[in-house]
Amino acid sequence: MTILEIENEGTPARKSNARRKRSALGDFIRNPTFGWLVLLALIVFWEAFAYVNPSPGLPAPSKIATAWWGEITRGKLGFQLADTMISMVYGYVLSAILGIALGVLMAWVRVFYVLMEPLVELTRPIPTIIFVPVIILYAGLGREMNVIAILISATVPILIASYSGARGVSAALRDTAATFKLSWWQTVREIVIPAAAPEIFIGLRLALAGAFVIAIASGMIAGNSGVGYYIINAQQTLDIARMYAGAATVAIVGYLLNYGFLQVERRLLHWHVSNDRSRTAE
């Protein structure tokens, strides 16, 4: 057997091993754990950089964590967070009810669509922050201002998603409602809303993130309480570690809100999520 033949015999095995290694590396990179490891590496790098180059404007993550724990357990951060979440819950629940109702009505009542469409299209591109001075003029500073700002911000995406979902109900489902002689209200309740639920949940998820952003931003601009006010107050008093602790709280709560929403969606729309996973696997 020549040297060339021996090398050719080993080539398939080497190629197979290389493919397995590439496959394992690709699986690891696509795993959600990889993202958390990258984030952990960035925090470690930040800690080392802050240790070597100490700066008042960039405290080490360990100092921020110490300040965060102190503010949560003994300081005002926990109370300010609770204040923000209360305003957000009020505004988000009201916007969900209003957005779903208006969206379904626009999809199924032509006159209502004609009346609402210009208003929706005019207000949709306007950032909610622009409305804050007007809201303050009539509602003053306080929870009412935050709730109204959140209501304006969150209603539009829910309304648009609800309209799109209700408008897209198939003709077969409409014929089914007619066959069983369902009333208009029964059709909406038993046919339209369940069929539109996947798109409605997309709007609810977008609105949840937007509502949280507005709850923080309105506190920064004109609030007298809440996490946004807490962060601005820390910045104005040059308490940088406390400022970063407030920002870290916003990031953590935002992540938990999104994670919790996805878990609720998987439970309520398990049939839709299962179909999506099946199509992805194919």
- Each residue's pLDDT tens digit, 238-250: 888 899 999 999 9
Is 46 in the same domain as 144? no
Q: What is the pTM of this model?
A: 0.80
Q: What is the mean pLDDT of the chain?
A: 83
Last residue of a domain, one of 15, 36, 52: 52
Instruction: Write out the residue range of the structural domain in which residue 26 sits.
Output: 3-52
Give the 3-state secondary structure percentages of the chain, helix then strand then coil, rounded to 5. 85, 0, 15
pLDDT of residue 126: 84
5 has a pLDDT exceeding 60: no
Domain tally, the chain: 2
**Predicted confidence (pLDDT) at residue 282 exceeds the cutoff of 70:** no
- The answer on 106 and 45 residing in a single domain is no
**pLDDT tens track for 111-141:** 988 988 888 888 888 888 888 888 888 887 7
- Asked whether residue 255 is assigned to any structural domain, the reply reads yes
Clarify whether residues 41 and 174 are in a common domain: no
Q: Which long-range contacts (CB under 8 A, 24 or more apart) does 123-126 make?
A: 123/152, 123/156, 124/156, 124/160
pLDDT of res. 95: 95
Q: How far apart are CA 37 and CA 35, in angstroms?
A: 5
Residue 64 lies in a domain: no
Is residue 82 domain-shared with residue 132, that is, in the same domain? yes
Task: For residue 127, give the CATH number of its domain.
Answer: 1.10.3720.10
